[in-house]
Structure 1
Amino acid sequence: MDRLNVFGNESPNFLKGFQSVAFKPTCQCTPIATQRKSDPQTFSPRIKALGGNPDKIWVQGKYSAFDDDGLRTLRHHVRRHKPGLIVLDPLFNYVPADRNAYSPNEIRAIMGELNEIGESSNAAVLLIRHLTKTKRDKQIYQGAGGIDVIGFARSAIRIEKHPDNPDLRLMVHLKWNLTTQSKSWVYEVVKKDGEDLPIIQWRGQSDISIDDLGSDDSDERPPPRRNAVEFLRAELKDGPMPAKYLLEKAENEGIKKRTLDRAKSELNVIVEQQKRKWVWRLPSDG
Structure 2
Amino acid sequence: MEIKLLTLYSDVTAVPVKWLWHPYIAIGKITLLQGDPGCGKSSMMMNLIAELSNGGSTPDGRAFGPPQRIIYQCSEDGAKDTIKPRLIAAGADCRNIAFIDEEVYSGLTLDDERIREAITEWRPRLVVIDPIQSYIGNDSDLQLASKARKLMRRIGMWASTYNCAIVLIGHFTKNEGAKDLYRGLGSIDVVAAARSVLQVEKSEEDAEVRIVKQVKNSLDSNGADLSFEIRPHTGFKWLGVATEESDMEESQTVAAFEALPKNKHELAALLIKRALGKGAVESMEIRRIMAEYRIGEKTMNEVKAELGIKPYRKRKAWYWILPGSNN
TM-score tier, shorter chain, comes to 0.5 to 0.7
Residue 133 (1) aligns with residue 174 (2): yes
Alignment of 1:16-95 (within 5 A): 16=22, 18=24, 20=26, 22=31, 25=48, 26-27=51-52, 28-36=67-75, 37-62=77-102, 63-66=106-109, 71-95=112-136
Q: Is the 8 A contact 1:168 1:188 kept in 2?
A: yes
Alignment partner, residue 14 of structure 2: none
- Answering whether residue 245 of structure 2 is matched by residue 204 of structure 1, we say no
Higher RCO by CA contacts (8 Å cutoff, separation 6 or greater): 2
State whether residues 70 and 127 of structure 2, in contact with CA within 8 Å, keep that contact through their aligned partners in structure 1: yes
Decide which moves more: 162-171 or 139-148.
162-171
Contact kept? 1:157, 1:175, Cα under 8 Å:
yes
* Alignment RMSD (CA, Å): 2.7
How far apart in 1 are the matches of 2:72 and 2:97?
7
Corresponding residue of 1:283: none
2:21 corresponds to: 15
**Letter matched to residue 171 of structure 2:** H
Deviation at 1:71, TM superposition (A): 2.1
Contact 1:169 1:186 in 2 (8 A): yes
Q: Cα distance, 1:93 vs. partner?
A: 1.4
Cα distance in 2, alignment partners of residues 156 and 32 from structure 1: 20
- Tell me how far apart the structure 2 counterparts of residues 172 and 43 of structure 1 sit (CA, whole Å): 25
CA distances 1:36-94 after superposition (whole Å, capped 9, x unpaired): 24311222100111111222110212143338xx6221111111111111111111211
Give the alignment of 1:166-177 within 5 angstroms.
Answer: 166-177=207-218
| Equivalent residues of 1:90, 1:128 under 8 A apart | yes
Q: Are the counterparts in 1 of residues 25 and 165 from structure 2 also a CA contact under 8 Å?
A: no
Structure 1 residue 175, shift from structure 2 partner: 0.7
Residue 188 of structure 2 corresponds to residue 152 of structure 1? no
- Structure 2 CA distance for aligned equivalents of residues 191 and 31 of structure 1: 27
Deviation at 1:17, TM superposition (A): 5.6
Please list the CA deviations of residues 141-162 of structure 1 after superposition, one character each: whole Å capped at 9, or x if unmatched.
0111111111100001100011
Q: Normalising to structure 1: TM-score of the pair?
A: 0.60
Question: Which one-letter code corresponds to 1:30 in the other structure?
Answer: R
| 1:74–1:20 CA distance, 2 compared to 1 (3 A) | closer
Check 1:133–1:80 CA distance in 2 against 1; reply closer, same or farther (3 A cut): same
Cα contact 2:72–2:129 (8 A) shared by 1: yes
**How many Å separate the matches in 2 of 1:143 and 1:102?**
11
Could you tell me which residue of structure 2 aligns to residue 274 of structure 1? Answer: none
* Secondary structure of residue in 1 paired with 2:210: strand
CA drift of 1:136 comes to 4.0
Is the CA contact 1:91–1:128 (under 8 Å) kept in the aligned structure 2?
A: yes
Secondary structure of the structure 1 residue equivalent to 2:230: strand
CA distance in structure 2 between the partners assigned to 1:83 and 1:163 by the alignment:
37
- C-alpha distance 98-153 of structure 1, shift in aligned 2 (>3 A): closer
Given the superposition, is the C-alpha separation of residues 16 and 106 from structure 1 closer, same or farther in structure 2, using an over 3 Å criterion? Answer: closer
The amino acid that maps onto 2:143 is Y
* 1-structure distance, mates of 2:226, 2:139: 39
| Counterparts of 1:123 and 1:94, CA distance in 2 | 19
State percent identity of aligned pairs: 22
Find the aligned partners of 1:98 and 1:152 in 2 and give their Cα distance: 18
Output one character per residue of 1:74-133: Cα deviation in whole Å (capped at 9) or x when no partner.
111111111111111111211114953200011111111111111111010000000001
> Of the candidates 151, 172, 178, which is equivalent to residue 219 of structure 2?
178
The 3-state SS of whatever aligns with 1:166 is: coil
TM-superposed CA distance for 1:203, in Å, is 1.1
**2:297 matched to which residue of 1?**
none
Structure 2 unaligned residues grouped into runs of 5+: 1-18, 32-44, 53-66, 246-327
Task: Determine if contact 2:72/2:98 at 8 Å carries over to the other structure.
Answer: yes
| Residue of structure 1 equivalent to 2:164 | 123
**Cα separation, partners in 2 of 1:100 and 1:18, compared to 1, 3 Å:** closer
Q: Secondary structure of the equivalent of 1:52?
A: coil
Figure out how many residues of one structure are paired with residues of the other and give that number.
Answer: 190
Q: In structure 2, what is the equivalent of residue 3 of structure 1?
A: none
